[in-house]
A and B are shown apart, each in its own frame.
Chain A
């Protein structure tokens, strides 16, 4: 794929909840770039800050959240925008797809009117014939029969509603779409249908897609790149094929090993649980659970290392000159109790 200018770029992004004294650092210094026509998968265990990161990117954080750093959409700083300006970007610039479509669809409004309303709001220059044509095209593209446009959301099945929501997110041709667990509530065959649709978006739309999921199978299916998140930080990021075949971070490797799929031959798990984000472990946050931990991992914050298109936050990859003498020695630690888990 040709490397293009990022549409959306987060750098040094921090998000924390709660008081100054005891903040929950849900996102703690994340840098990420989304490019047009590219799908980036964001994975990690629950409580790693994936959803918070997704919400920060589209400006949907609750009032109790504080932010620092920067999120730029085509050069425009989103963190400094007034709420009303941000609202006007949502739709034409930033699209959203949630797990439960009924949170987005109004039960008292027909499917067709959902589309006409969105178009009237954001593209008032269109005449009504053109609006109808755009709505038809978006719905038809998702396999919703034209005979059913005048029906209400509750008259559709779960998979149809999710397609309607995807169509609604795409009808305004947004530059960036964030999909948070879009198939988790669906049955496996319908999930595969929706994943096919999401995979096709890369070819048919120019939007950059951030796909948040806990399912590595979904990332393998629908994403070009993958970012693995642990305790508020990006542990590793790179092309999906590369990260899956040669995971650089021990966390990525262990996460892949503990996924139970049809080709699984042995049960494997990561001991312990993701840390409390109020008081996370010092230095590398994964070191208490890491089978490869060295002495340096408990003492110094890891430094981001790039190898080709992959970047990783792990001392195993150096830089060597930053590791103090004796830092390579295996870390001696207490045993993690069996029941300390998520």
Chain B
């Protein structure tokens, strides 16, 4: 193994080990029974929506995101466990996206994965020895029972399950959570892979054990010259573990850069919010209260423009404001009003479902027998409540019509990748073109 590692270090040049370009995966939704009966399309979810990055030999790349960010799907797509719908994955220059199972199988010796739940990763009917040696058998590398056991013993000892004889004949249920995760790591390294994808490897473990497993992973990395992709929701362990960090939100990498830069000088407002939201074990330091409102939106119908814009404290004209944001604003106002005021306003406005179809121009309908002027009055009070809310920067005009109030939003731009210092991000705040477009709307109708 040591020889192989040295060889590998020799040929490591400047070429990235893994090059991912504009990778996309799409899940089709099953829809309801009626949908299928009528042959209606139930839509699809873009779990990974145009992701590009390089993985350099020997580095630890952190892929950090909340639930629904697509980080797990991305990890699986790299291994060919999820078929990408578009884009390219090159391993040492060779295209591996979309390879069939038969051609992917030998490559899995070079790419291994460790999942979050060690218990679910280990077949309860097999002994630890058989589980750890299984990849050798499966890939037809070793068939001799004695050699399989020796190789398993060496791997098991390497991950700290010492003495190996005490563990090889045990079953997964006999082991604690941390010990199981060690066994999973032993199985992952037994093929001497080049890339290890670790998907939340410590998040199911107790605080007191996490550090031990992370330390073990770092030691294995140095010993076997491994390259890691560390997938996590936890920015604190990623800070410790990673050389570079990619922050994902709703299927996209919104910011990627050297770990030191991401933590000391986060640029994307989403990264900034994530870092501020982590509670420190220090009662003297409180988490700030002005965190983004709401939650990660539904990936089936993502927001227009930048997916983060509805929650972004710094969003502006071109970030993607639209009809559904108006609905959220109204509902948030009604939550704050007392019941009588709420009922009075609610009686003026018709069905809010008119706002559910994403559009940059919409009519908020008046209730039966009510006039558009009255609906505009509701919007005026909404605006008076928080005139500086980023939402109002997105509104180009509000006009009363006979049966409702017409709201026009500024045209949105889909954020493209831009360079900012050593980081690459998707955010209009760092895109001169988007900033210029926003400035030009200042002179447009309806402002101020």
Structural contact, B291 and A193, CB atoms closer than 8 A = yes
Structural contact, B335 and A187, CB atoms closer than 8 A = no
Say if the beta carbon of B279 comes within 8 Å of chain A. Answer: yes
Which one of A3-11, A101-109, A254-262, A290-298 is at the B interface? A254-262
Please, how many angstroms separate the alpha-carbon atoms of A218 and B286 in the complex?
10
| B224 to A: closest C-beta gap in Å | 19
Q: Interface residues of B, CB < 8 Å — how many?
A: 57
Say if the beta carbon of B99 comes within 8 Å of chain A. Answer: no
From the candidates B208, B240, B289, B342, name the one contacting A342 in the complex (CB within 8 A).
Answer: B208
Please, how many angstroms separate the alpha-carbon atoms of A68 and B209 in the complex?
33
CB-contacts of B160-210 with A (<8 A): 160-162, 167, 176-179, 182, 205-210
**Per-position 1/0 for A124-150, Cβ under 8 A of B:** 000000000100100010011111100
CB-contacts of A224-259 with B (<8 A): 240-241, 244-245, 254-256, 258-259
Say if the beta carbon of B287 comes within 8 Å of chain A. Answer: yes
| A231 to B: closest C-beta gap in Å | 13
Apart from A145-B331, A196-B287, A338-B162: 19 A-B pairs, beta carbons within 8 A: A145-B334, A147-B334, A187-B295, A188-B235, A189-B274, A189-B291, A192-B277, A241-B284, A245-B284, A255-B208, A258-B208, A259-B281, A260-B214, A261-B236, A262-B278, A267-B211, A267-B214, A269-B209, A342-B209
Given A193-B291, A267-B215, are A220 and B334 also a contact pair (CB < 8 Å)? Answer: no
Residues of chain B lying within 8 A (CB to CB) of residue A192: 277-279, 287, 291
A-contacting residues of B (Cβ < 8 Å)?
66-67, 160-162, 167, 176-179, 182, 205-212, 214-215, 233-237, 239-240, 263, 273-275, 277-287, 289, 291-292, 295-296, 331-332, 334-336, 339, 342, 346, 352
| A1 to B: closest C-beta gap in Å | 14
Structural contact, B278 and A144, CB atoms closer than 8 A = no
Structural contact, A244 and B211, CB atoms closer than 8 A = no
Structural contact, B208 and A244, CB atoms closer than 8 A = no
Q: Interface residues of A, CB < 8 Å — how many?
A: 56
Say if the beta carbon of A270 comes within 8 Å of chain B. Answer: yes
Residues of chain A lying within 8 A (CB to CB) of residue B278: 188, 192, 217, 261-262
Residues of chain A lying within 8 A (CB to CB) of residue B235: 188, 262
Residues of chain B lying within 8 A (CB to CB) of residue A339: 160-162, 167, 178-179, 182
Please, how many angstroms separate the alpha-carbon atoms of A189 and B310 in the complex?
14
Structural contact, A269 and B212, CB atoms closer than 8 A = yes
Structural contact, A147 and B346, CB atoms closer than 8 A = yes
Please, how many angstroms separate the alpha-carbon atoms of A314 and B148 in the complex?
49
Given A195-B287, A262-B236, are A187 and B210 also a contact pair (CB < 8 Å)? Answer: no
| A305 to B: closest C-beta gap in Å | 23
| A242 to B: closest C-beta gap in Å | 9
Structural contact, A46 and B206, CB atoms closer than 8 A = yes
From the candidates B161, B208, B240, B296, name the one contacting A187 in the complex (CB within 8 A).
Answer: B296
Structural contact, B207 and A220, CB atoms closer than 8 A = no
| A179 to B: closest C-beta gap in Å | 15
| B260 to A: closest C-beta gap in Å | 13
Residues of chain A lying within 8 A (CB to CB) of residue B283: 219-221, 240-241, 244-245
Say if the beta carbon of A80 comes within 8 Å of chain B. Answer: no
Structural contact, A221 and B208, CB atoms closer than 8 A = no
Structural contact, B295 and A159, CB atoms closer than 8 A = yes
CB-contacts of A284-342 with B (<8 A): 337-339, 341-342
